[in-house]
Amino acid sequence: MSAARDMLCDTASAVFTEAASVGIGPVEDAGFGLLLVPEADGGFGGDWGDVNAVLWIAGHSVPDLPVAALILSGLGDVDPALHAAATVSLMAGAMGQALTLSIDHVNTRQQFGRPLGKFQAVQQSLAVMACEVRAVEAAAAALAARLDATGGDALAAGFEIAAAKLRANRAVGVVTSVAHQVHGAIGFTEEYDLHRVTVPLMRWRGTHGNDAHWAQILGRQVAGFGGRGLWEAMTARDA
């Protein structure tokens, strides 16, 4: 990762920590609304790789704040599909946090004289969950790369937006259910942090296009490519 993106992520982490208790104000003040605005127009000149990194952190730590909307507002009136794209990055971050919380929990909570993480059934569930999380992270990163290759053109990146949002939506079920299952009752409380990411995940599954919406769009696009054409189209789009 570039040094500039490292710095951006450090800034984002610090600002989001503050924003977690006081609201979106510090994020606005720090200028995240200018992230995608070209330097020539007084913006930060960031790319979608930057947006993905920042929103991953936002999904992780401040999933309830409108960080994605703030970043996209810098571009003015955008294609709604770009909101779906941004949501995939938020989802990846929130899923990463659900996984981290779950691992920490099973490594500390003891039952039957052992940490839960020593039980094979628990290990296997978390492995399944980790695969879903990794898949969504990959989808978010690949989508960002495609958006950068197309200059942020939602139409040119339509295939990837549909595929990534659909894949992220489909991961929500496994990720939220395994995370809650391994947590037991404590994960069902208001006090414990897990719901701060799992409830947003449930919400995001239905916003900016649910499964049926994107599956139809993608399925019809692929039908247009034809059987062999799918592979040709997919490889032709490599960044």
> Shortest approach of other proteins to residue 215 CB, angstroms?
3
**Closest-CA residue to 106 (of 92, 95, 121, 91):** 121
Residue 114: helix, strand or coil by DSSP? strand
Query: Cα–Cα distance between 214 and 167 in angstroms, integer?
Result: 10
Among 62, 82, 106, 157, interactor with other proteins by CB under 8 A: 106
Residue 35: helix, strand or coil by DSSP? coil
Residues 53-92 that bind other proteins (CB under 8 A): 53, 56, 89, 92
Phi, psi at 115, each rounded to 5°: -60, 145
Among 11, 123, 181, 210, interactor with other proteins by CB under 8 A: 123
User: Near other proteins by CB under 8 A, which window of 24-32, 77-85, 113-121, 150-158?
Assistant: 113-121
> Shortest approach of other proteins to residue 53 CB, angstroms?
5
Whether 39 contacts 47, CB under 8 Å? no
User: Near other proteins by CB under 8 A, which window of 14-22, 37-45, 202-210, 212-220?
Assistant: 212-220
User: Near other proteins by CB under 8 A, which window of 149-157, 184-192, 194-202, 226-234?
Assistant: 226-234
Query: Cα–Cα distance between 22 and 16 in angstroms, integer?
Result: 10
Query: 6: alpha, beta or left, given left = phi > 0 and alpha = psi -120 to 50?
Result: alpha
Residues 182-211 that bind other proteins (CB under 8 A): 211
Residue 156 sits in the site that holds other proteins (CB under 8 A): no
Query: Cα–Cα distance between 210 and 96 in angstroms, integer?
Result: 21
Nearer to other proteins, 69 or 128 (CB): 128
Among 11, 170, 181, 192, interactor with other proteins by CB under 8 A: 170
Which residues are CB-contacts of 183 (< 8 A; sequence separation ≥ 6)? 101, 102, 105, 192, 194
Nearer to other proteins, 67 or 166 (CB): 166
Whether 65 contacts 24, CB under 8 Å? yes
Binding site for other proteins (CB under 8 A): 1, 52-53, 56, 89, 92-93, 96, 99, 103, 106-107, 117-118, 120, 122-124, 126-128, 130-131, 133-135, 137-142, 145, 159-160, 162-164, 166-167, 170, 211-212, 214-220, 222-228, 230-231, 234-235, 238
